[in-house]
A and B are shown apart, each in its own frame.
Chain A
Amino acid sequence: MAFIAPLLLLGTLAVAVPIVIHLFGRRRAKTVKFAAIDFLFQSDRKTARSMQIKEKALLVVRALACLAIPLALAKPYTSCERSGPHVARGAQAAVFVIDDSFAAGVVTDGKTWLVRATAQARAILTQLGPEAEVAIIRASQNADTPTELTRDHLRLGDQLLAMEPSARPADTRRALEAAGLLLTASGHSQKTVFLFSLMAKTGFSAGPAPWGPQGPALTVVDVPVANRNNLAITKLVVEPDPASGARGIAITAEVLNASATPVKDTELALRLGSDVVARGRLDLAPFERKAKRFLAVLPKGSHGADIQVALPNDVLPIDDVRSARAVLRDDVRVLIVNGDARTTRRDDEIFYLETALRPGDRIDSGTTLRTITPDEISADALSEADVVVLANVPALPTARVTALTAWVKAGGGLFVTVGDHTDAAAYNRQMRELLPQSLGEIVDTMWGATPEERAARALHMEKFAVDHPAFAALSKNATELRDAQFSQIFLLAPDANDSARTVLARFTNGAAALVEAQVGVGRIALFTSTIDRDWNDLAIHPGYLPMMQQLIRHLARRQAPVDESEHLVGSTVTLPVAGMSKLEVRGPGNLATMFDGDRIAGRTTLRFSKTEQPGQYRVRTFDAANTSTTREDLGFAVNLNPLGSDLTPAPPSVLPASGSGGGTDKASTKQRIELWHAVAAVILLLLLAEGVLLQRA
């Protein structure tokens, strides 16, 4: 043991003080010559003895305290062989780059890696000494970077103590670049970057070296990870599953075995809300990704459900769970204007359309149908509809066209089909605003054809806009529609403004079959043939039902019943706010963010970016009367970036070369261990013991 300030050891002479006080105090005790002293001895032989012992103990305690105080002030230290990184004490600049990605939550011996890393960082901070200027840079993706070095080691220590794993993957190269920049501005000759990293290869992106040969010295602090065998759910896809009914969903979870050890029979649990509704098992080869598909039905009476798939907890529990949000769309209210009503139901113009939109007349089809005649079109009827189908109606009078046009411009969806009652000239004259394109002549391919020739002369649909939602439910080339035979169609007249409409499908003769256009914020679609079997046999082909359903939903702006877009931690989510006075987003941990006033007024959407925690985010809206409504359709789930789940160690070559900014005494293998803390602790204990003894004496 040696001392930094050995002169202060002279203070140990103070040990004489308590001894003198003790002896002096002993003399100061009143002396009484007493006759019945035998009774005193009898009375308190034990007390007297223990008092003598306590008196001596007090003397010893005080003498030790007087010895220990100068000993502590002399700062004793010992030295041993260095086990950690070399740390030079004194004036210098240093940056701690600490991996606080979610992978830093990997658990070894009951402690997270980050806890052990920050403990080592605090030890190094102490060893650097008070003259060192230090900064801490977190290595998670997009983490804030300090702008200057500081000597406020107390604050840095607190910062290290408070550090917790973020929910982002590591971006160590960015952090090293930031450290290099920060040290460039420092005037110290000795510059060091202490890197505390899991050294997972996914944390090091490719790029130029963060510093050159004159850059700082790089010291990699080894914080070992005992077990890197991590299983993670890296993707969760929720899709509608029509086979399970309108509320049926299919959940596909992708599991990654990011280790060289095969995994057998690991269990996956699917939760809907708080209930586990399904379990599955998986075998995974080393570094294999495998998907597990679950089928489930959303509970009745709810418009949505939180979905979560979980693995049993392993070394990194945070990526053993992945969430999604499934939302049932509201029923589409369809107003069918029947232009060719018949008493025989099968001959009715809208028989096949009704059947397609409400298969089997099921209540849960997601569609509400109302059928009226052209004369019944009114503003009231329109206000209760999302989509209006004009099925082979004669040209409407101007008043109804005006009402319909205004309704479409406000966001309604209009589907126009033609037939024998369609007068092209009247349509073009009175209803032009409701058509994507003017109607032309009727083409009757069967005119004069013999029965044998009919098949050959029939037109077929082709050239589909396969990416359009109307055809999204069909197979790749919409084969379900290609066999349909069309005998009559309307041609469309050329328009000056062709760019305003989109042809979604064409016939084999090149004529447009299905055309769509945007009117105001509404949509209109024109089918150039009938929707019953008068001019074609499309209605009896398997593609008819999904096409009609999807087209109607598209026109009604109702999409698939699930949230297919996956939001990652830190991403921005766009939320509609039209007509709302306030909107609240409540994330995991019940942390709420309120948008109101200027942040929401007059806007149709807002961008929410406080998505730092994985989990479910719920949305509540408030109307003008401050009445809140939980918007299940707006809720969303945020998940981890799966990149960070792979803990496979990176080769040392990913690290930049250490620069020349290091210290001069690298050869030293001895490490100084300061002992004054222990001595101070002993002083405290001695003072405590003295207090106890005094109280009992």
Chain B
Amino acid sequence: MQLDAASLARLGTMAVRARVLVQGALSGLHRASHRGSSVEFAEHKQYSPGDEIRHIDWKSYAKQGKYFVKQFDQESQLTVYLVLDASGSMNFAGGGASKLEYAATALASLAYLVSQQQDRIGLLIFGGSETVIPASGRVQLRDVMDALETANSSGGRGQNSASAALQRIAELNRRRRALVILASDLFDASGDAVPALQKLRAAGHDVSVLQTMAPDELTFPYDGMTLFESLETDHRLLANPAAIRAEYLRKMQAFLGNTKEQLQRAGLDYHLVETNKPVETTLRDLLIARNALMRGRSVGVRG
């Protein structure tokens, strides 16, 4: 089953949408929930006084007559930061759902998924300046859903940069590695969103970017004299779209290409998301990409 933007809107609250998407559309794609604690065996170490006796590998002692202690890489829960761009530009809804609604739905679904795995979820909304500190549990999930719901219903505003939110995540997770999933159009007037993402990746965090674009932004289908008004500023432009279409599309493709190239070069997981695409398709592509990445990394979303 695939749900388009209109169908999603009819599903009601963000929590309902997330559950429908994860339990229905994405069922079978992720592993079974409640799989156990998040511990992974790393290597053996010869026993020395002070080591935990419960970690002595008795089978190795039976074979070799020496004490070895099992060591594990990660013994804590995964922290997933969902970052939503709620700036004014995300209100644009040309050719599908608004970018904000689409991004909020996608992040809500991810939150639900993460919550099902008992991992910690945090939420940062820039533009709305809403922050939910990472935690696990049903209450936490409800808070995240509420925050997303609020952001979606109040609409995007302002032209806040993603860099501040990303900087805050880096500060909050100096010791713990986290998975950061950003949903934004990356229309950043200051141009520092991409460097901030690169910096976050350099700090060891795992970063996925869902660059959310409306179809009309990619095809520019307008005709006749049109007055374009900015969603973030008071800029207005009266223009004949036919006269500027080619140049606009060239600039847009260049922007998307540059962004993708810079992010992928820095090791980020990049996805261009069109709002006329079913959300579950977007999520499936994200999860497939995450699974591919997990093969070489110890930190990841266990879907």
- Chain A: residues with CB nearer than 8 A to chain B? 26, 29-44, 47-48, 51-52, 55, 697
B residues 224-260 near A (Cβ < 8 Å) are 224-233, 235, 237-240, 243-244, 247-248, 250-252, 255
In the assembled complex, B280 has its CB within 8 A of some CB on chain A: no
In the assembled complex, B67 has its CB within 8 A of some CB on chain A: no
A sample of 24 cross-chain residue pairs with beta-carbon separation below 8 angstroms, ordered by A number, consists of: A29-B227, A30-B222, A30-B225, A31-B227, A32-B229, A33-B92, A33-B228, A35-B90, A35-B91, A35-B187, A36-B89, A36-B248, A36-B252, A37-B228, A37-B230, A38-B187, A39-B251, A39-B252, A43-B244, A44-B243, A44-B247, A48-B237, A51-B238, A51-B240
Q: Is A37's CB under 8 angstroms from B237's CB?
A: yes
A35-B89, A35-B187 known; A48-B251 Cβ under 8 A: no
Docked complex Cα distance between A26 and B227 (Å): 9
Distance (whole angstroms) from the CB of B146 to the closest CB of chain A: 26
Extra A-B contacts (17), CB below 8 Å, given A30-B222, A40-B244, A40-B248: A29-B224, A30-B224, A32-B226, A33-B91, A33-B231, A34-B217, A34-B229, A35-B88, A35-B89, A35-B187, A36-B89, A37-B231, A39-B248, A41-B237, A44-B239, A51-B240, A697-B240
For the complex of A and B, list the 10 residue pairs with the smallest distance between their C-beta atoms, beginning with the closest.
A35-B92, A35-B89, A44-B244, A43-B247, A43-B248, A37-B230, A29-B225, A34-B228, A31-B227, A30-B226
B residues 184-215 near A (Cβ < 8 Å) are 185, 187, 189, 214
Distance (whole angstroms) from the CB of A524 to the closest CB of chain B: 104
User: B120 contacts which chain A residues (CB < 8 A)?
Assistant: none
Q: Is B239's CB under 8 angstroms from A51's CB?
A: yes
User: B187 contacts which chain A residues (CB < 8 A)?
Assistant: 35-36, 38
Docked complex Cα distance between A52 and B89 (Å): 25
Docked complex Cα distance between A336 and B229 (Å): 121
User: A47 contacts which chain B residues (CB < 8 A)?
Assistant: 239, 243-244
Distance (whole angstroms) from the CB of B172 to the closest CB of chain A: 29
In the assembled complex, B157 has its CB within 8 A of some CB on chain A: no
User: A41 contacts which chain B residues (CB < 8 A)?
Assistant: 235, 237
Q: Is A34's CB under 8 angstroms from B240's CB?
A: no
Docked complex Cα distance between A697 and B240 (Å): 9
Q: Mark B11-52, 1 if CB is under 8 A from A, else 0.
A: 000000000000000000000000000000000000000000
Residue of A nearest to B255 (CB): A39
Q: Mark B71-106, 1 if CB is under 8 A from A, else 0.
A: 000000000000000001111101000010000000
A34-B228, A47-B243 known; A29-B238 Cβ under 8 A: yes
User: B233 contacts which chain A residues (CB < 8 A)?
Assistant: 37
Q: Is A32's CB under 8 angstroms from B189's CB?
A: no
Residue of B nearest to A42 (CB): B251
User: B185 contacts which chain A residues (CB < 8 A)?
Assistant: 35
Pick the contact of B217: A33, A36, A55 (CB < 8 A). A36
User: A55 contacts which chain B residues (CB < 8 A)?
Assistant: 238
Residue of A nearest to B244 (CB): A44
Docked complex Cα distance between A12 and B185 (Å): 53
Distance (whole angstroms) from the CB of A145 to the closest CB of chain B: 67
User: B99 contacts which chain A residues (CB < 8 A)?
Assistant: 35
Docked complex Cα distance between A668 and B109 (Å): 98
Distance (whole angstroms) from the CB of B92 to the closest CB of chain A: 4
Distance (whole angstroms) from the CB of B135 to the closest CB of chain A: 33
Distance (whole angstroms) from the CB of B251 to the closest CB of chain A: 5
- Secondary structure at chain B's binding surface: helix, strand, loop or mixed? mixed
Distance (whole angstroms) from the CB of B246 to the closest CB of chain A: 9
Distance (whole angstroms) from the CB of A27 to the closest CB of chain B: 9
User: A42 contacts which chain B residues (CB < 8 A)?
Assistant: 251
Pick the contact of A48: B214, B222, B239 (CB < 8 A). B239
Docked complex Cα distance between A47 and B187 (Å): 23
Residue of B nearest to A27 (CB): B227
Docked complex Cα distance between A38 and B88 (Å): 13
- Could you say which of B185, B189, B224, B239 has the most chain A C-beta atoms within 10 Å of its C-beta? B239
Q: Is B252's CB under 8 angstroms from A33's CB?
A: no
User: A36 contacts which chain B residues (CB < 8 A)?
Assistant: 89, 187, 217, 248, 252
Distance (whole angstroms) from the CB of A37 to the closest CB of chain B: 4
Residue of A nearest to B252 (CB): A39
User: B88 contacts which chain A residues (CB < 8 A)?
Assistant: 35
Residue of A nearest to B230 (CB): A37
Docked complex Cα distance between A47 and B242 (Å): 12
Q: Is B229's CB under 8 angstroms from A40's CB?
A: no
Q: Is B226's CB under 8 angstroms from A31's CB?
A: yes
Docked complex Cα distance between A244 and B203 (Å): 124
B residues 157-192 near A (Cβ < 8 Å) are 185, 187, 189
User: B189 contacts which chain A residues (CB < 8 A)?
Assistant: 38
User: B222 contacts which chain A residues (CB < 8 A)?
Assistant: 30, 32
A26-B238, A40-B239, A47-B244 known; A34-B225 Cβ under 8 A: no
Pick the contact of B231: A30, A35, A40, A43 (CB < 8 A). A35
Q: Is A35's CB under 8 angstroms from B227's CB?
A: no
Q: Is B238's CB under 8 angstroms from A37's CB?
A: no
Docked complex Cα distance between A208 and B96 (Å): 104
Docked complex Cα distance between A34 and B99 (Å): 12
Distance (whole angstroms) from the CB of B71 to the closest CB of chain A: 50
User: B89 contacts which chain A residues (CB < 8 A)?
Assistant: 35-36
Residue of A nearest to B90 (CB): A35
User: A33 contacts which chain B residues (CB < 8 A)?
Assistant: 91-92, 228-231
User: A51 contacts which chain B residues (CB < 8 A)?
Assistant: 238-240, 243
Residue of B nearest to A31 (CB): B227
Pick the contact of B230: A30, A34, A48 (CB < 8 A). A34
- Could you say which of A32, A34, A55, A697 has the most chain B C-beta atoms within 10 Å of its C-beta? A34
User: B239 contacts which chain A residues (CB < 8 A)?
Assistant: 40, 44, 47-48, 51
Q: Is A34's CB under 8 angstroms from B231's CB?
A: yes
User: B90 contacts which chain A residues (CB < 8 A)?
Assistant: 35
Docked complex Cα distance between A481 and B261 (Å): 130
User: B225 contacts which chain A residues (CB < 8 A)?
Assistant: 29-30
Docked complex Cα distance between A535 and B225 (Å): 123
Distance (whole angstroms) from the CB of B185 to the closest CB of chain A: 7
Pick the contact of A31: B92, B229, B251, B252 (CB < 8 A). B229
Q: Is B229's CB under 8 angstroms from A37's CB?
A: yes
Q: Is B217's CB under 8 angstroms from A35's CB?
A: yes
Residue of A nearest to B249 (CB): A43
Distance (whole angstroms) from the CB of B78 to the closest CB of chain A: 33
B residues 49-80 near A (Cβ < 8 Å) are none
A30-B224, A35-B99, A35-B214 known; A52-B231 Cβ under 8 A: no
- Could you say which of A31, A39, A55 has the most chain B C-beta atoms within 10 Å of its C-beta? A39
User: A52 contacts which chain B residues (CB < 8 A)?
Assistant: 238
Docked complex Cα distance between A48 and B236 (Å): 11
Distance (whole angstroms) from the CB of A678 to the closest CB of chain B: 35
Residue of B nearest to A55 (CB): B238
Pick the contact of B92: A29, A34, A697 (CB < 8 A). A34
User: A40 contacts which chain B residues (CB < 8 A)?
Assistant: 228, 237, 239, 244, 248
Docked complex Cα distance between A55 and B239 (Å): 11
Distance (whole angstroms) from the CB of A697 to the closest CB of chain B: 8
Docked complex Cα distance between A43 and B249 (Å): 9
User: B240 contacts which chain A residues (CB < 8 A)?
Assistant: 51, 697
Docked complex Cα distance between A234 and B244 (Å): 78
Docked complex Cα distance between A51 and B225 (Å): 11
User: B231 contacts which chain A residues (CB < 8 A)?
Assistant: 33-35, 37
